[in-house]
Structure 1
Amino acid sequence: MVEPSRRPPEIPPPFDLSRIRPIPIAQRKNKVRREEFGSLADVDASIGEFIDSLPRILAADELRHAAQWTAESVARGAPVFVAMGGHVVKVGLAPVVNDLMRRGIVRALVFNGSTAIHDSEIAMIGQTSEHVEVNVADGSFGMAHETAALFAAALERARREGTGLGGALGREIVEQQLPFPGDSMLAEAARLGIPVTVHVGIGTDVIHMHPEIHGDALGAATHHDFLLLAALVTELDHGTWINIGSAVVLPEVFLKAVNMARNVGHSLEGITAINFDMLQHYRTSVNVLRRPVARGISLTGHHEINVPLFRIALLRELKARGLGS
């Protein structure tokens, strides 16, 4: 064992500032320029003028890039798919999504189980999102009979027709003539012939507590939807994948679908991914915005503000390219 030196370390003299070599500020590279500052929108400005007034810095410019890159996909004839969690319904964005489907911009919807439940309840009674803290106290949380009955009918339809849960739910809503189909993304997609896939984690949704919901039927229907999504993703070259508010299930589903497509020879080049969420999470940051795609954008904030802004920015971009009115 080497005995440590008993001599105290020599303390250096203070740093000699006369040795510093300043540079002219003109030589310095900067990240912010005054030309990128925002302008003052008039109090009576249109929403388009408001967007134009935003700074060309950080999230405001990312919003513009999201619109531009999505418009590039549309201009190339490439698909735009929207994956979403249940809060998209709960904050009132079905009209925005339905409009983008009717315009031919969005070609497929990708739901988790809660999205399908909330959308179906809107079609059924025009309301959704029960008071969990109240109802869980007496065990009535998630026990609405009509919701489970609609899903049971859709699962039987899926079995009978050899289809998935998303398409079967949309057709069931339409054929049962539920009161509010115009506010349902499932029903609107069924009317337009646009595919909807529903990706269920068994045990995560309220309908799984009901005796009429059978695991074999649920598993078969959601597995069919997964394979349908994988087939749709094979066509995503230069397309856009938009994820709104799903932090776990749909990012994982997307990663697997992309991998399956590439495994059988589809290169899937030039994909744009856009993530809208209140917080940015690991799976969306890595499995949506980085690993499987060419370029990704995160737009952090409230869906009920950011998604309508994105719609307007996208429609203006398409109009500028002669692709919309």
Structure 2
Amino acid sequence: MEVQQKELHAIRPLIEQRADPFIYRHSDGYYYFVASVPEYDRIEIRRAQNLEELAASTPVVIWRKRDTGILSANIWAPELHFIDGKWYVYFAAAHTTETIEGLFDHRMYVLENDNANPLEGSWTERGQVRTAWESFALDATVFEHNGSLYYVWAQKDPKIEGNSNLYISKMSNPWTLTGPQTMITKPEYDWEIIGYKVNEGAAFLRKGNRVFLSYSASATDFNYCMGLLEADADADLLDAASWRKSQAPVLTTDESISLYGPGHNSFTVSADDEKTLFVFHARTYKDIVGDPLYDPNRHTFVAELLWTADGRPDFRGSVASLAHSAQ
């Protein structure tokens, strides 16, 4: 008997023109959404009680870039976290100078709000997150694991060739690193060094006795793709040897469903807490006029995260499932 194959469709975004998406489901029953806006000039939050309503919900601008100096250019990749009863937004910002280099000389910063609803109240600038050296740094995420607060970020080590590596450190509070800062991956495989040598955009996930960090690599055009790190849940996460790295990318461009340059993901949960959801950005076309960073059409997609038989995230299967269900 011939097995009928399910038809694949081009997948549809949940929210258009929002890159580096981060969705968090809070204990108040709301989903909160932040992302890079095409103008790179502000941070906005939107919320809704279900994912479908996020697209139509009205964004609230909580912070705008400064006119000059630090924090005045290319506001990238905000993330919203709730830690010890307060809200925190982690993001990267560059500065205006007489040379173009300043526009891409990013540092990492933190905002804080103690209001129950982060769309209200006042946001305080907690300042720059200081690392071991002053250099290009961005794409911070935080997570709590086994009683400790961890910070993972991308940064340029002046002594290592390339654009950014991934590092991990513990935190003494939500804006201060403490103890050793460990590099856990650098661009080394062919798929990580197309256009630029990049490891960035990490996202944390725990499943059973393993923890995972997904991340993105290469230039931000159709070559952008995802890799995966994993460690045992009881391992020392500050020991680089604890992390095992995928030798091949776990998600890449798929022209059959008009998916180009997928990456910079986050994870959230379904409303019933039963399913993990995979949130990521991608374009729906390949050819870009000019610098990909200024093409506004990186859209936010959400798919149920599937798992492989050996207990790892199945990003390709998750996206394929989304394509099967698309109409």
* TM-score normalised by length of structure 2: 0.26
Bigger CA radius of gyration: 1
Higher strand share: 2
* TM-score normalised by length of structure 1: 0.26
